[in-house]
A and B are shown apart, each in its own frame.
Chain A
Amino acid sequence: MKITLNIWRQANAAAKGAMQKYELDDVSEDMSFLEMLDLLNENLNEQGEDPVAFDSDCREGICGMCSLMINGQAHGPEVTTTCQLHMRSFKDGETITIEPWRAEPFPVLKDLVVDRSAFDRIIQSGGYISANTGSAPEANNLPVEKAKADRAFDVATCIGCGACVAACPNGSASLFLGAKITHLGSLPQGQPERDTRVVDMVAQHDHEGFGGCTNIGECTAACPKEIPLDVISQLNKDLRTAMKHGY
């Protein structure tokens, strides 16, 4: 396949960026999207041009490191991560535009690489169950209804990639936040801190500069793990309950 690429180049966080055009001739459709970029980088290196910086690590769709806006869609046209996208999803001769996640709380560091440490700070504010090592009771002393355990698992699969934020016109991280609130709130172990957790995490989310949710649903459409929109309802419900409890 022949592909034309339009890629955002930006030397560093302070620099002004711009789109730049590249041509690739020998792309095979069995290549992953990132292998296609590896090939571009090999070519650029040969020509003495600085390779394009982009994030990836596991290349298995699980670590959440990869992050590209492909033709205006977070992680591209399929419901998957950028690293699991293959060139067979594109046509010979196609022009593909590649940009970094665009959101104020995710500043660009270089080219397609952004800083997502805001997500870690949201988790620090309450995204855990306090259980010091060594203090845990025997695991089967606490049965968990299968339906609740399954629900917790389904939303715990969030990989923290940030596609939901990149896709949201408001730059909201409500899907990410709702997934964590729902994961921990579905489990009996998560009850003691349920109220403080939601209040503190929402405060941190807003403090980081993420926008509010207006139920557009772009987040869940872009989410590679198909985190459902109802986690945001759960988030709002938990927040109201906490308020009622006086938090």
Chain B
Amino acid sequence: MTETQTPATTSDAAGFFTLGDPVADTKAPAEASVPTRWEERKSHAKLVNPANRRKIKVIIVGTGLAGAAAGATLGEAGYQVESFCYQDSPRRAHSIAAQGGINAAKNYRNDGDSVYRLFYDTVKGGDFRSRESNSYRLAEVSANIIDQCVAQGVPFAREYGGLLDNRSFGGVQVSRTFYARGQTGQQLLIGAYQALERQVAAGTVTTHTRHEMLELITTEDADGQTHAKGIIVRDMVTGEIETHLGDAVVLATGGYGNVYFLSTNAMGSNVTAAWRAHRKGAYMGNPCYTQIHPTCIPVSGENQSKLTLMSESLRNDGRIWVPKKKEDCAKDPRDIPEEDRDYYLERIYPAFGNLVPRDIASRQAKYMCDDGRGVGPEVDGVRRGVYLDFADAIKRLGRDAVETKYGNLFDMYAQITAENPYEVPMRVYPAVHYVMGGLWVDYDLESNVKGLFVAGEANFSDQGANRLGASALMQGLADGYFVLPYTIANYLADSHERIDESHPAVVEAKKSVEERINHFLTVNGTRSVDSYHKELGHLMWEYCGMERTKEGLSLAIEKIRELKADFWKNVKVLGTAESLNQSLERAGRVADFFELGELMCIDALNRRESCGGHFRAESQTADGEAERIDEEFAYVAAWEWAGEDGHMPVLHKESLSYEAIEMKARSYK
């Protein structure tokens, strides 16, 4: 238990939280220099004897890059792995949708890349809000990832000489991104999925598809330390509530961008697994850090169910512009002469041009549209779109070359909008895409709940306040293939109490899941789950989106609370518990999104600075750039759940310090 103190009255969020003890990562060997820490940690972490591994069970929730890679690797090492996903096959995890590519410090282009430079770019891109040790390790293992994937048969793009090809991505000046046309995530995931299925055949891994984790089982040891012991899942076909116990639990459940309703995430992406763990004691790190991707297909109507990303790689060759004059906004873009176009990114950021980091590109698009210079159809009286134009690229490289590079993206765009991007510039607008926030973990990727490991997008990640393009795939695979297998052994090497299904912790967890399901099915209210989800999403987008203010966030918290109370009294879920019931699945997810949304707003309200993807209007420079306040906010906000309504979350600060890189203002001008 933590000692809680009185609220920090100076915070904008005073009255919404209490301040707890600071928290620190104790696993990264502080005595070693940043570049040698991982080697040092690996050399001294405890090991598990191969003969004992087959007696140890590891539960892995999630089969995306992080979960599938971890499952395959731990299976190969000889552990018993139980793998879970909510889709009908592990291969469908949302990592499959990643388009652009994966970074690695291979320096195949001989353009000055190195582990240090990838590390530097990650820390700078993250606006000095990531942990140096973690970011360094990520860069360090990146090269191994490419080797591993190639050995598995991942068909990366190649040059005529047969060697691997690269492209550039936003926020950097080297070309270090490996790709498989516009389907990099798919190819990487299929590689990991096949490795996982190979272990199923070998008998080390058991997969449980169409199973949704609804609760974490925890116990306390003699020292009062909480440990993860297993999970409660629902068989989504039969409705059966099952208990799975293990020696450690890994959550690799992806991001929670769907709290905004509209995002580029999959329909089923959720926070439930992470949130249930949070309610059982796991800290939530920096929940307000959200990445809004600048180039998505704009919203076209009210019934829209999700948004589609157009890969950032398009910014390599596409030029972004809006008309200089408002009266040109409704015109056919091809009729607007060159001198009347404002290539605003090239104008404001001459050094990086169209390749500025995502948060900057997104915010500038918003400003252009707020200024009345957006393009495309009016939605609520404003045109929300900017042009991404390939006319110059087609002139320079030829249509065929453009098609080879981006063909499938162009097809996808044409399919959705019924417009031909070879002829007319694409219209794009920012959309929620990724969350840097997530469960807090130490250097070992272990949460403050012992034996609970968190990998991939689900952890608060190595990306700080903003992630660079092509770095999430890198992180998922780094965590799953190369980090977790070492660090989890350190925990498993010690003996821990084992429990069975009669343990009160199991009985309690199962009962709470059943009661919740029963509640949803018996409320008999009048509003559908989706209608609540949409309304919550609107609030989040409006007040906790690209630009946040004290006033807006305070209002959002109040409105979310009202809506949540109404949801529990008035939601309408039909069908039964004992069958495939998609409304019931969604009701559980939306219930958790409400609680998460509130915490995101509190976190955003407390952080009265701008950093990376978190932009507080109150904290900007004279020319409108994000202004960090290092003296006050150079910390990770790790939030502890304090209980249902009326109990304020507890903030634990992990202070950030920089040894290998000097902390300075981020500039892309």
Contact = CB atoms under 8 A, between A and B. Distances in A.
Contacts of A38: 303, 305, 530
Given A30-B300, A64-B91, A139-B147, A84 B415 contact: yes
A46 B572 CA distance: 8
Interface stretch (B161-169, B641-649, B653-661): B161-169
Contact of A140 (B73, B164, B186, B306): B164
A135 interface: yes
A241 interface: no
Interface in A121-173: 123-125, 127-140, 142-146, 149-150, 152-153, 156-157, 159-160
A153 B153 CA distance: 10
B194 A127 contact: yes
B153 A139 contact: no
B173 interface: no
A46 B309 CA distance: 32
Given A86-B416, A133-B72, A189 B89 contact: no
A193 B76 CA distance: 18
A80 interface: yes
A216 interface: no
Contacts of B157: 149, 153
A189 B153 contact: yes
A96 interface: no
B580 interface: yes
Contacts of B161: 143
A123 B152 contact: no
A37 to B, nearest CB: 10
Interface string B125-158: 0000000000000000000101111111101111
Q: Which has the most chain A C-beta neighbours within 10 Å: B160, B200, B579?
A: B579
A110 interface: yes
B159 interface: yes
Interface stretch (A51-59, A207-215, A230-238): A51-59
Interface in A73-122: 78, 80, 84, 86, 88, 109-110, 113, 115-117, 119-120
Given A45-B528, A86-B416, A125 B89 contact: no
B148 A133 contact: yes
A153 B92 contact: no
A117 B151 contact: no
B598 interface: no
Contacts of A80: 415
Q: Which of A35, A113, A127, A140 has the most CB of B within 10 A?
A: A140
Contacts of B160: 146
A153 B161 CA distance: 17
B306 A59 contact: yes
Given A139-B164, A140-B164, A153-B181, A35 B303 contact: yes
Contacts of A130: 198
Contact of A62 (B96, B146, B303, B531): B96
A6 B149 CA distance: 45
A80 B301 CA distance: 22
Contacts of B144: 134, 136
Contact of A139 (B150, B209, B416, B528): B150
B225 interface: no
Nearest to A43: B528
Given A39-B303, A45-B528, A127-B197, A64 B92 contact: yes
25 contacts: A35-B305, A51-B583, A58-B97, A59-B308, A61-B415, A62-B96, A62-B186, A64-B89, A86-B416, A88-B418, A109-B580, A110-B237, A127-B197, A128-B153, A129-B151, A133-B485, A136-B144, A138-B147, A139-B146, A139-B149, A142-B150, A144-B162, A149-B162, A153-B155, A156-B187
Interface of B: 69, 72-73, 76, 87-92, 94, 96-97, 106, 108, 144, 146-153, 155-164, 180-181, 183, 186-187, 190, 193-195, 197-198, 200-201, 207, 209, 237, 266-268, 300-301, 303-306, 308-309, 412, 415-416, 418, 481-482, 485, 528, 530-531, 572, 574-575, 579-580, 582-583
